[in-house]
Chains A and B, each alone.
Chain A
Amino acid sequence: DQQVKQNSPSLSVQEGRISILNCDYTNSMFDYFLWYKKYPAEGPTFLISISSIKDKNEDGRFTVFLNKSAKHLSLHIVPSQPGDSAVYFCAASVWSGANNLFFGTGTRLTVIP
């Protein structure tokens, strides 16, 4: 039973344009959300996070938006760069829990030069 879903397995974007990666969750107990980036043969690397008390968090070219009522979050990358090509995982947790992260299945982003 997957509580975090990324329905787009892949996304291709031209360099310089915006990349939008989407994520949906079903468990209303989740109150902290994270995005991880993964290159082949490496482990996931933390990218950006957002607490449920916010609806937006920005860090450089990366912005995460949270819509609690829709149980939806998105990661915006602008401008996209070829080095951003990787698999992006959305994850969710309960702030006061045991830091048990629930991951989506990932979206493979390809930025075309």
Chain B
Amino acid sequence: DTAVSQTPKYLVTQMGNDKSIKCEQNLGHDTMYWYKQDSKKFLKIMFSYNNKELIINETVPNRFSPKSPDKAHLNLHINSLELGDSAVYFCASSQDTAGSQPQHFGDGTRLSIL
């Protein structure tokens, strides 16, 4: 029974297109996150939502827009895709925003821009 699930697992698309990645958690957690892992395997936070409210928004281009329809879902929409957006995107969740709460990760979405 998957705790944090994200779809699709793979996404191959052309430069300039718009795409979305969906994330759902069934752990009853209040906080959800999006991370980007680049080609150097560096995992960096992009956004964090707590109870559907944005609490972390790192330096991410405006083309990236997260949306949290409810506590269990945090989707990521990307407009006008660029070559540099190619990466693995991970969704995660935690009980709350306390720094001691472990985050539970999905299996990632590998985005490839042609």
Using a CB–CB cutoff of 8 Å, the interface residues on chain A facing chain B are 2, 31-32, 34, 36, 41-46, 49, 51, 87, 89, 93-101, 103, 105-106
Q: Which of B12-20, B68-76, B100-108 contacts A (4 or more CB under 8 A)?
A: B100-108
Q: Report whether over half of chain A's contact residues are helix, strand or loop; otherwise say mixed.
A: loop
B86 contacts across to A, CB distance below 8 A: none
B105 contacts across to A, CB distance below 8 A: 36, 43-45
User: Would you give the shortest CB distance from A32 to chain B, in whole angstroms?
Assistant: 5
> Is B104 a contact partner of A100 (Cβ separation < 8 A)?
no
Neighbour of A34 across the interface among B48, B50, B102, CB < 8 A: B102
Given A31-B99, A44-B43, A94-B99, A99–B48 Cβ distance below 8 Å? yes
Count how many chain B residues have C-beta atoms less than 8 Å from C-beta atoms of the other chain: 29
B112 contacts across to A, CB distance below 8 A: none
Given A96-B99, A99-B94, A41–B107 Cβ distance below 8 Å? yes
| Complex alpha-carbon distance, A2 and B38, angstroms | 14
Interface string of B89-114 (1 = CB under 8 A from A): 01010101111111111111000000
